[in-house]
Amino acid sequence: MAEMKKVDELTYKEASTELELIIRNLESGDLELEDSLASYTRGVELLRSLRARLEDAEQKVSILLKDVDGGDMLVAGEAADTSDELKF
């Protein structure tokens, strides 16, 4: 595999795009064993990073609403789907 950025240096979009490409390459069956293992390892790193970013975002996201008395009230956002299924 060519020299790549470290996973933590990628944007969320870059990481998810790279993961999709890795999955497509692995599913094609055209890679040599060594390349498949390296791709799989990179894919696991990307997936862990993406999940961690989503979990972090879920903790930070809250919606500011006005309650009946005009005061502020924080309401937690919905949790994201963390299943391993990729949806295209």
pTM over 0.75: no
Using CA atoms, how far residue 78 sits from 2, 21, 57, 62, 68, in Å, is: 38, 28, 11, 9, 22
Domain assignments of the chain as residue spans, ordered by start = 7-76
β-partners of residue 74 are 64
Using DSSP, state whether 80 is helix, strand or coil. Answer: coil
The pLDDT-based confidence of 3 (bands split at 50, 70, 90) is confident
52, 61, 76 from 44: Cα distances, Å: 12, 26, 29
Band (2; pLDDT cuts 50, 70, 90): low
3-state secondary structure of 64: strand
Q: Which CATH class is domain 7-76?
A: mainly alpha
